[in-house]
Every structure is written in structure tokens, then in C-alpha cells.
Structure 1
Amino acid sequence: MLALESVDLSATVARHLPYLRRYARALTGNQSSGDRYAVAVLESIVADPGLLVAHAEPKVSLFAVFHSIWSTSGAPVAEADDLISGAAQAHMAGLTLNSREALLLNTVEGFDQAQVAEIMGVDVAEAQHLIDVAVEEMERSVRGSVLVIEDEAIIAMDIAAIVEGMGHRVTSNARTRAEAVDMAAAEPPDLILADIQLADNSSGVDAVNDILAQFGAIPVIFITAFPERLLTGERPEPAFLINKPYTEEQVRSAVSQAMFFSSTETLRA
């Protein structure tokens, strides 16, 4: 157990807060709702700094505080603001309790099963069971078409193989902003996976915004080596953001959840 005086509260929270916010957005379905939970976590820690050292690792403690608030509130999702998010929330009602949380903690946020168990207050076997259940329930619930926006051919092929292995169909791979917009116009996708930096120095964020402006709400996953460019808190951020280098499990988890719970917000470059 860490001594409270050994922890620089503000520095510790600042280091982990962008990832807590990412996690909260993915759970709730949009940035504003997720950020309200992040604020509630911060308020709890300010009121009782000892919460940050309740576990051996401050990051585990931070996420455990979130879980306590989330579960106490009944784990609500954001209010449906369109037909897509409404349908996704209807799907949510059929999921095993806490399974999405366990899956996100493990595959996207990188906690091992023992840490997931600590955060959620369950044993390791139950944590692994929840992860397995979430994978099964989500992957069988939705199938669709996917546009990949990625300028590195090997990475694009790898992403496509993962997505197709899940039963989805990759419509095309775009290497530039212009190609992405043209390909989306030719066949509007159900999901977009995009890098930020593209082949001609154009922006994947701009490409996504162009597509969303034309077709409306489509779930988006950004896969990037530069997550800090989006996790700033200064503008709308994506609900689903994966770091490069990624793992197959991270991609599968994000694709399943984005397809299932598709309320990713538009980014403004």
C-alpha cells in the first residue's frame, strides 16, 4: 500500500485523467456524459484524497472510484439523441451486467484480469467471465460494413483481416482525406476506422468530419500513434481511441462496442 504522503495528488491524477475520460466516454456513449462522471471522480478524490491510494497502484484506485460512482448511479448511458443511439441503448439492456465495463478495462485500458477484479470489486475468475461474456454478446449482436482510413498498407491489411475475421465487411481502404470522402460517398459505411496522419499529410480527423457532415451519425474509431492530439479536453473527442501499436484484442473490442453502441461524436479540427 502506498503512503498517502508519497503521492503527488495532482500529478498522479493529471497523468491518468485522459484515459479515465476516454473510458468514461466509451461507457456512457458521448463526451459530455463521460466527462460528468470524470468530474464526479475528481470531486470524490478532492474530498477524500485517501481514495487515490486505496489500491497498490493509483491508476487502479482512480478507476475504482469511477466504478463505485458508476455502479451506484445505476450505470446509465447518455440520453438518446438520435435513432442510432436509441437503438444502441435498447441493445444495452440485453447485456450481462458489468460485462462492457470489464471488457473496456481489460482490452482498451490495458488492465490485467487481477486489476479489473480490483477495480470492480470481484474475484479474478468473475472478471475473466465478464470479459468473455462481453466479447461473445457484442460480436454476435451486430454485423456491418467498415471503411478503413489508413495510409500504411501493412497496417490497413492487418486491420481489415481483424475486422473481417469478426464477420464484418471492409468496403475499402483510403490513404488520403479525398479518397476517404469519395469511398464513403460510393458506399456509406456502418463504421469508420481511421488514422490521424494520412499519406499526403491530410488529416484523418478532417476526413471523418467530411463524411459525418454528409451522412450523419456513423460510429468512428481512431487508431493512432498520437493519442495525445485528441485527448486534450479542448474540443470534442472520439469515444473510441486506440493507441498504436495496437493488439488484435483492442481492435476487436473497440469494433464490437462501436458497432453496438454507436454514438461517437463528430470532431471539429
Structure 2
Amino acid sequence: MNTTTGAGGFSESIAGELPYLRRYARALTGSQETGDRYAAATLEAILQDRSIFSEELSPKTALFHAFHMIWSTAGAPTATSESESAGLEQKALDHMAGLTSNSREALLLNTIEGFTFAEVAQIMEIEEGEAENLVHIAISEMERSMTGKVMIIEDEAIIAMDIHSIVDEMGHTITGIARTRAAAVELGAKDRPDLILADIQLADNSSGIDAVNDLLQQFGDIPVIFITAFPERLLTGDRPEPAFLISKPYSEEQVRSAVSQAMFFASTETLVA
């Protein structure tokens, strides 16, 4: 049960979980702008009616439950401008419409945000068995959606080979493993990837964020997943932020889920170091 009392404690309990709600909303919509709109709408709704923030749930579960009340009421988001990024977002949303209803939500909640099936059920107001079934459906549908070429930017050999094994087993082709920013740029020039998986801190103290920016400047929109022990460097609230961010230590399910969804959306936003 949520034992938070007082306005200060209540605000602190939400503030601590907000970066993860924003991460979830971005991954769910495929857009930082749209995801942030839904997160902001959730906070506004809670401020107007505290009853939607259930004290019977943990703060994080209660916050995500309130988000889903807004999400389910508003329906599927739509792109709101004529910009190129809005066009990419609309393509992603059109693609998402072909999936089994509620399956991506359940998958993201379970594999990326770490909620148990019981907690997913509470958030989505469904039965626990249905939550588990939706996760399995989403994994199956998204892995069938698309395969492609994947670049790995990671300086730790054991981690790089583990990621390589997971992605290879999913049916994707690995273009190579880069341990530095310069090596990543060189590898990309040889074989343009369809997806990039990148650490932030690399072998020569260069930045994985800089490496990704170099590649995006060269190739344009490529989906990116950051797998890092320093997620706080990217969950800052500054624009733009990555839609897909996995914290180390990671699980195989997290990697498989993020790769499937990033390839599914097949778009990203350039990061600013």
C-alpha cells in the first residue's frame, strides 16, 4: 500500500518515477513530443483529481495506472504537424494499429519498466493471465514484423558478445561491434545499419552519444537503443531524448523487446550530447 502522506511526500513520490513514465510514454508512442504530452496530461489529471492516484498501489504502479486511464480515454495518438518527424511518427502509429490491442502496452510495462504480470494487470485493469498472454503475443507479432542489420557500439567484450548473441538469435544481421566513437563511424561507413545499439561511455573515454550523432548526421533517421549503466545522463528532461533506453544490468527479455520495437518504429531523433 502507498503510505505517502502530505503534499511534499506526494510530490516527491511522483517526481521520482516521472522519468520512467516519460520513457514509457515515448516508447509507447514512438515520439518524445507525443509521449511527453501524455505524461503531462497524466500529471494534470492527478492534480485535478487525487483519487485517480490510487493509494492502494505503490507510487510507480499508481502513476502508471493513472497514465493508462488517460491513454485509454484519449485513444490512439496522432501526429499533429506537417514536419518530417511527424510524418515518421504517423507511419509508426499506422504500423502499431495492426498489432493486437493492448499488447505493446503490456510488453513495455513488463520488459522495459520491470512490472510483474500482476502489476501490469493492475495498471491496465485486466486479469493477470491476460497481461501475461498479451506480452507473449506482442513479442511474437513484433519479432515477425521486421529483420535488419544491427550495429553494436559497446567497449566491454563480454557484454558486446552477449548482445550480439541475443540479436543474432532474433534473426538480425550484425554489421559489427565498435568499441570507440571513431570505430563506430568507420563501421557505419562500410555497412549502413538499420538499428544501432549503443553504450554511452566507450573504451577511449569517447561518447556513445557522439558516435550515434555522427552516424545519424551521415545516414539520417536510424532507430537507436542505448544500453547503459548511466541512464540518468539521458533521462534529463532535455530535448531530444531517446525513445529506447535500457539500464545495465539488463535482461535478455529487455533487449529482445527493445530491439523488436525499435525496428518496428524504424525511426529515431538525433541526440545532443
TM range (shorter): over 0.9
Distance (Å, rounded) in 1 between the aligned partners of 2:117 and 2:26: 22
Where does residue 27 of structure 1 map in the other structure? 28
Deviation at 1:48, TM superposition (A): 1.9
Where does residue 110 of structure 2 map in the other structure? 106
Distance (Å, rounded) in 2 between the aligned partners of 1:86 and 1:181: 30
Q: Which amino acid aligns with 1:147?
A: M
Where does residue 128 of structure 1 map in the other structure? 132
Deviation at 1:86, TM superposition (A): 4.7
Distance (Å, rounded) in 2 between the aligned partners of 1:125 and 1:162: 27
Aligned positions of 1:36-55 closer than 5 A: 36-55=37-56
Distance (Å, rounded) in 2 between the aligned partners of 1:201 and 1:10: 37
* Structure 2: stretches of 5+ with no match in the other structure: none
Secondary structure of residue in 2 paired with 1:114: helix
Distance (Å, rounded) in 2 between the aligned partners of 1:191 and 1:252: 13
Distance (Å, rounded) in 2 between the aligned partners of 1:223 and 1:77: 29
The count of residues paired between Structure 1 and Structure 2 equals 269
CA contact (8 A) 1:9 1:49 kept: no
Aligned positions of 1:164-179 closer than 5 A: 164-179=168-183
Identity across aligned pairs (percent)? 65
Where does residue 234 of structure 2 map in the other structure? 230
Q: Does 1:5 align with 2:9?
A: no
Q: Does 1:81 align with 2:84?
A: yes
- Corresponding residue to 1:257 among 257, 261, 264: 261
Distance (Å, rounded) in 2 between the aligned partners of 1:75 and 1:133: 19
Could you tell me the TM-score, scaled by structure 1's length?
0.95
Distance (Å, rounded) in 1 between the aligned partners of 2:125 and 2:84: 33
CA contact (8 A) 2:88 2:267 kept: yes
Any idea what the Cα deviations from partners look like across 1:51-100, whole Å, max 9, x if unmatched? 32343211111001111111111132545836654543332121001100
Q: Which amino acid aligns with 1:81?
A: E
Distance (Å, rounded) in 2 between the aligned partners of 1:173 and 1:231: 25
CA contact (8 A) 1:221 1:242 kept: yes
Distance (Å, rounded) in 1 between the aligned partners of 2:190 and 2:155: 19
Any idea what the Cα deviations from partners look like across 1:15-61, whole Å, max 9, x if unmatched? 00000000000011111111111101111111122332343211111
Q: Which amino acid aligns with 2:218?
A: Q
Deviation at 1:165, TM superposition (A): 0.5
* Structure 1: stretches of 5+ with no match in the other structure: none
Q: 1:86 to 1:144 in 2, by over 3 A?
A: farther
- Of 16-25 and 52-61, the range deviating more from structure 2: 52-61
Distance (Å, rounded) in 2 between the aligned partners of 1:251 and 1:261: 15
CA contact (8 A) 1:29 1:261 kept: yes
Distance (Å, rounded) in 2 between the aligned partners of 1:5 and 1:108: 29
Secondary structure of residue in 2 paired with 1:172: strand
Where does residue 150 of structure 2 map in the other structure? 146
CA contact (8 A) 1:108 1:250 kept: yes
Distance (Å, rounded) in 1 between the aligned partners of 2:233 and 2:101: 33
